[in-house]
Structure 1
Amino acid sequence: MNYSKNILYKASGLVLFATLILTQSCKKSFLDVPRQAQQPAAQFWKTGDDAKAAVSAAYANLHEWTNIAFAPMAIESVGSDDTEKGSSATDATFMNDYDNFTVTAGQGQLGDFWSGEYKTINFANQVITRVPAIEMDANLKARYIAECKFIRAYAYFRLVRAFGDVPLRLAPPKDASEYNIPRTAKAQIWAAIETDLTDAAAVLPQSYGAADVGRITKGAALSLHAKAAMYQQKWADVLSFTNQVKGLGYSLFPNYEQMFRTNNENNSESIFEIQSDLIPGNPDASNSQYSQIQGVRGSTGGGWGFNVPTQNLADAFETGDPRRDASIIFRGETTPEGDAIPATGDNPMYNQKSYVPFGMFVTGYNEGVQQNIRVIRYADVLLMNAEAANELGDATTAIASLELVKARARGSNAAILPKFTTPDKDALRTAIWKERRVELSQEYDRYFDVIRQGRGLAVFGPKGWKANKNEVWPIPQNEIDLSFGVLTQNQGYN
Structure 2
Amino acid sequence: MKRKIYIIYAFLGMTFTGCDNILDSTPAVTISEDLFWQTEDDAEKAIIGVYGPLMDEYYFAGHTEPVWDVQSDDLYRAGDWGDDAQLETFNANPEQGELFGRGWKLKFEGIKRANDVLRNVPSMSISEQKKNEILGQAYFMRAFHYSRLMLIHGGLPLYDENLPISEYNKPRATHAETYEFIERDLEKAAELLPLSWPEADLGKPTKASAWGLLCRFYLYEEKYQEVVNTANKIFEHKDLYSLMDNYGDNFLVEKRNEKEVLFAVKMMMMADSPAWPFNLYFYPHAFGGWNFFHPEQSLVDEFEYLDGSPRRKIKFQKEDAENCKYVFTDNGEIVNWQKEFIQRDPRLRATVVTCGESFNMDGAVYTFPAGDTMTGYCCNKYIDPNHHAGLCNLHYCIVRMSDIYLMKAEALLKQQGSSNAEIDGLINEVRRRVGLADISNCTMEDIIHERRCEFATEGLRHYDLIRWKLAKTVYANDNGPDGPRTFVEGKHELLPIPQSEIDLSQGVLVQNPGY
> How large is the RMSD of aligned CA atoms in angstroms?
2.5
Per-residue deviation, 1:64: 2.4
Which of 376, 394, 399 is matched with 2:399 structurally?
376
**CA deviation vs aligned residue, 1:301-324 (integer Å, no higher than 9, x gap):** 111112221112111112311111
In the other structure, the counterpart of 1:344 is: 370
In the other structure, the counterpart of 1:302 is: 288
Which of 296, 299, 321 is matched with 1:313 structurally?
299
Matched, 1:452 2:467: yes
Q: What residue identity is the alignment partner of 2:378?
A: Y
**Correspondence list, 1:176-325, <5 A:** 176-249=165-238, 250-264=241-255, 266-280=257-271, 283=273, 288-298=276-286, 301-319=287-305, 320-325=344-349
Distance 1:439 1:133, change over 3 A: same
- SS state of the match for residue 353, structure 1? helix
Q: What residue identity is the alignment partner of 1:124?
A: A
Matched, 1:356 2:380: no
Matched, 1:407 2:432: yes
- SS state of the match for residue 263, structure 1? coil
Per-residue deviation, 1:485: 0.8
- SS state of the match for residue 201, structure 1? helix
Distance 1:39 1:166, change over 3 A: closer
Per-residue deviation, 1:352: 0.9
Which of 413, 416, 441 is matched with 1:390 structurally?
413
Normalised to the residue count of structure 1, the TM-score between the two structures is: 0.85
Matched, 1:420 2:448: no
Kept in 1: contact 2:186–2:211 (CA 8 A) = yes
Per-residue deviation, 1:37: 5.5
CA separation in 2, counterparts of 1:310 and 1:485?
40
CA separation in 1, counterparts of 2:390 and 2:498?
31
Kept in 2: contact 1:11–1:44 (CA 8 A) = no
Per-residue deviation, 1:333: 1.7
Per-residue deviation, 1:253: 0.9
Per-residue deviation, 1:296: 2.0
Kept in 1: contact 2:16–2:30 (CA 8 A) = no
CA separation in 2, counterparts of 1:288 and 1:64?
9
CA separation in 1, counterparts of 2:193 and 2:24?
24
- SS state of the match for residue 308, structure 1? strand
Per-residue deviation, 1:334: 3.4
In the other structure, the counterpart of 1:9 is: 15
Kept in 2: contact 1:9–1:18 (CA 8 A) = no
Kept in 2: contact 1:230–1:384 (CA 8 A) = yes
In the other structure, the counterpart of 2:332 is: none
Matched, 1:491 2:513: yes
Matched, 1:334 2:358: yes
Consecutive unaligned residues of structure 1, counting only runs of 5 or more, are 20-34, 411-416
In the other structure, the counterpart of 2:136 is: 146
Kept in 2: contact 1:131–1:145 (CA 8 A) = yes
Per-residue deviation, 1:8: 2.9
In the other structure, the counterpart of 2:458 is: 443
Distance 1:369 1:127, change over 3 A: farther
Distance 1:293 1:18, change over 3 A: farther
Q: What residue identity is the alignment partner of 1:70?
A: H
Distance 1:469 1:226, change over 3 A: same
Distance 1:315 1:335, change over 3 A: farther
Distance 1:43 1:370, change over 3 A: farther
CA separation in 2, counterparts of 1:486 and 1:37?
32
Q: What residue identity is the alignment partner of 2:450?
A: E
**CA deviation vs aligned residue, 1:133-192 (integer Å, no higher than 9, x gap):** 22111121122111111111112222222111111111112x122221111111111111
- SS state of the match for residue 238, structure 1? helix
Kept in 2: contact 1:73–1:307 (CA 8 A) = no
Q: What residue identity is the alignment partner of 2:135?
A: I
In the other structure, the counterpart of 1:117 is: 107
- SS state of the match for residue 356, structure 2? coil
Per-residue deviation, 1:326: 1.2
In the other structure, the counterpart of 1:476 is: 498
Q: What residue identity is the alignment partner of 1:72?
A: E
Kept in 2: contact 1:18–1:57 (CA 8 A) = no
Q: What residue identity is the alignment partner of 2:75?
A: T
Per-residue deviation, 1:457: 0.9
Per-residue deviation, 1:267: 3.4
Per-residue deviation, 1:13: 1.7
Q: What residue identity is the alignment partner of 1:57?
A: G
Consecutive unaligned residues of structure 2, counting only runs of 5 or more, are 1-8, 306-343, 477-483
Matched, 1:73 2:66: yes
Distance 1:268 1:312, change over 3 A: same
Distance 1:153 1:310, change over 3 A: same
**CA deviation vs aligned residue, 1:5-48 (integer Å, no higher than 9, x gap):** 653331542369999xxxxxxxxxxxxxxx97696665222322
Distance 1:182 1:379, change over 3 A: same
In the other structure, the counterpart of 1:155 is: 145
- SS state of the match for residue 372, structure 1? strand
- SS state of the match for residue 214, structure 1? coil
Per-residue deviation, 1:81: 0.4
CA separation in 1, counterparts of 2:231 and 2:127?
32
Kept in 1: contact 2:22–2:165 (CA 8 A) = no
CA separation in 2, counterparts of 1:306 and 1:196?
35
**CA deviation vs aligned residue, 1:319-355 (integer Å, no higher than 9, x gap):** 3111112111112123598964333323131111111
CA separation in 2, counterparts of 1:243 and 1:302?
44
CA separation in 1, counterparts of 2:165 and 2:15?
18
CA separation in 2, counterparts of 1:339 and 1:318?
31
- SS state of the match for residue 386, structure 1? helix
Count of residue pairs the alignment pairs up: 451
Per-residue deviation, 1:419: 2.1
Per-residue deviation, 1:287: 5.2
Kept in 2: contact 1:389–1:395 (CA 8 A) = no
Kept in 1: contact 2:50–2:110 (CA 8 A) = yes
- SS state of the match for residue 271, structure 1? strand
CA separation in 2, counterparts of 1:276 and 1:177?
38
